[in-house]
Structure 1
């Protein structure tokens, strides 16, 4: 079976492979626009079906997220010695989850700010597009 490649000769990953890889790493990068400027922050996450769920501290990041603006989320891995790696990109919109779901996810999600005294919100990214590429040594 031939593997699909893009114009850069990178392997194009299927949706199932993308979802599996997204869930294989606990840390990803969230990209969003805050007050007109792009921001990228690391977040711990889980994959719930086809959506990405993470915990964030209340503040500028969550204010920007819950306004329904576009976001991107990326997870990757690479091994420079073997010249192999992969990247998965999710584009969509984020929104806070309801209280019942928040309680369900709170135990599963670690936070970079390791204090329970800070207020958190659980956020879900609803993907509009999920794409992935893999680099393999020829």
Structure 2
């Protein structure tokens, strides 16, 4: 039998702190006018989420032209135990833009481990406007009244 659980909302700082403890998540974006989801690895730098992109990869379509403030995306990561169903989940929603500074791209390339042996051509910076999350926690066990066992 699974123990009773409750869901506790996370504040922005706790959600971003938890997000920074894992390196894998899922980015949700629009591709060919439809929602698309890709698993990617990430870094949290300040409040920004950084992911690697490849020139011919699906995320290459997120390159915003000219003065556009970016492309709206969502980024989700979680750690949920498959047996106890305890853990946390965080979603960051905001604008994604390509990192323009070549020194930053080089630094991120050295920190983001690739999934496949393809060179990282650039990095995507997600500036979060909305950060939400929750933690699934076990309900505290109530002690039995005196004399009961």
> Per the shorter chain, which TM-score range?
0.7 to 0.9
Match of 2:8 among 11, 16, 19: 11
Cα distance in 2 for partners of 1:33, 1:15 equals 25
Aligned to 1:131: 132
Structure having the higher Rg: 2
Query: What do you get for the CA RMSD once the two structures are aligned?
Result: 1.5
Residue equivalent to 1:5: none
| Structure 1 counterpart of 2:79, from 53, 66, 77 | 77
Matched, 1:61 2:58: yes
Shift of 1:60: 5.5
Q: How far apart are the structure 1 equivalents of 2:61 and 2:23?
A: 23
* Matched-pair contact (CA < 8 Å) for 2:53–2:60: no
**1:127 & 1:96 partners in 2: Cα distance?**
14
- Against the structure 1 CA distance between its residues 63 and 82, is the aligned structure 2 distance closer, same or farther, given a 3 Å change threshold? closer
Match of 2:110 in 1: 107
The correspondence for 2:49, drawn from 47, 52, 63, is 52
Give structure 2 stretches of 5+ with no counterpart: 1-5, 65-69, 140-149
1:120 aligned partner = 121
TM-score for both structures, normalised by structure 2: 0.79
- Hey, what's the Cα distance between the residues in 2 that align with 1:41 and 1:88? 16
C-alpha displacement at 1:69, in angstroms? 2.1
Distance 1:84 1:62 in 2: 31
Consecutive unaligned residues in structure 1, runs of 5 or more: 1-8
Count the aligned residue pairs: 128
